[in-house]
Amino acid sequence: MKIGVLGTGDVGKALGKAFVTLGHEVKMGAREAGNEKAAAWAKEMGPKASAGTFADAAAFGDLVVLATLGVANESALAAAGPDRLRGKIVIDTTNPLDFSGGMPPKLAVSGNDSGGERVQRQLPGAKVVKAFNTVGNASMFRPDLPGGPPDMFIAGDDAEAKKTVGGVVKDFGFNVIDVGGIEASRYLEPMCIVWVLSAVGGNHWSQAFKLLRK
Ligand SMILES: NC(=O)c1ccc[n+]([C@@H]2O[C@H](COP(=O)([O-])OP(=O)(O)OC[C@H]3O[C@@H](n4cnc5c(N)ncnc54)[C@H](OP(=O)(O)O)[C@@H]3O)[C@@H](O)[C@H]2O)c1
């Protein structure tokens, strides 16, 4: 499969690497062509990886990963071009975090709206699935944790798209918990702050959520 990754940060690099490791072709996009981080990442990953702009990555991917600064999603997606994402699955890994007041971050969008819903509204022709936003980038691919495979919460409006993303999530080493439509992003995005607070408090950076069940 061809994967477009919008984002040159730790998440874009980690998920891009995971897709390359599984044999997919990946193009990483940035605001500017020639972005140094994207170029260095592609060079390190080898022939299955390449770099370009957000628009290049959006056009390239059959499946596209959104891994941009959450409060900059709107401008990143405008640059990517909603028409280039029409009909495609978009995995939204982002959290609308506002660090302007220091730690802990606040949510720039909350209550009866969420970053995930905003992404879906901006991309009416795409099938947006929230995933990977509740785990740190160091544990996004086949995390080897003593408690076994962690859980990954996913949310989205399109059942087929969630089936596909669920398959990716399983391949990446997680159990899948589908919590409903994209509006469930309202509850998944604050979980990221719980993850950050517990990571900082206990100095646990390789940690992930898991529900225990009978
Ligand atoms: N870090 C984690 O472990 C983690 C875990 C789960 C979820 N998340 C979420 O995943 C997303 C990515 O996180 P990250 O740490 O990998 O990277 P990040 O630093 O949050 O975002 C980097 C990306 O955002 C783009 N960007 C920054 N400002 C922009 C603007 N004004 N307009 C358009 N694009 C802009 C950058 O573009 P350029 O490439 O052009 O610089 C870059 O590609 C975030 O929403 C974060 O909350 C992070």
In tens, the pLDDT along 33-73 reads 999 999 999 999 999 999 999 999 999 999 999 999 999 99
- Note the pLDDT tens digit of each residue in 89-140: 999 999 999 999 998 999 999 999 999 999 999 999 999 999 999 999 999 9
Which amino acid residue places its CA nearest to atom 23 of ligand 1?
68
Distance 94 CA to ligand 1 centre (A): 8
The pLDDT score that the predictor gives to residue 115 is 98
CB–CB of 130/182 below 8 Å?
yes
The angle formed by the CA atoms of residues 25, 28 and 34, to the nearest 5 degrees, is: 125
Q: Which residues line ligand 1 (CB under 6 A)?
A: 7-12, 30-32, 35, 67-70, 72, 75-76, 93-95, 97, 133, 136-137
pTM comes to 0.99
The pLDDT score that the predictor gives to residue 86 is 98
Which amino acid residue places its CA nearest to atom 17 of ligand 1?
9
Which amino acid residue places its CA nearest to atom 29 of ligand 1?
72
The pLDDT score that the predictor gives to residue 67 is 99
Distance 10 CA to ligand 1 centre (A): 8
The pLDDT score that the predictor gives to residue 12 is 99
Indicate the pairing of strand 49-53 with strand 25-30.
parallel
Other CB atoms closer than 10 Å to residue 93's CB: what's the count?
A: 26
Selection from 70, 54, 119, 49 nearest residue 91 by Cα:
119
The pLDDT score that the predictor gives to residue 139 is 98
Selection from 182, 84, 195 nearest residue 140 by Cα:
195
Ligand 1: which of 31, 37, 103, 193 to mutate, judged by most atoms within 8 Å of the beta carbon? 31
Distance 159 CA to ligand 1 centre (A): 27
The pLDDT score that the predictor gives to residue 170 is 98
Query: Mean of the per-residue pLDDT values for the chain?
Result: 98
Selection from 29, 31, 115 nearest residue 64 by Cα:
29
- Note the pLDDT tens digit of each residue in 148-202: 999 999 999 999 999 999 999 999 999 999 999 999 999 999 999 999 999 998 8
Average pLDDT for residues 19-38, to the nearest whole number? 98
92, HSE (Cβ side, Cα atoms, 13 Å): 36
The pLDDT score that the predictor gives to residue 148 is 95
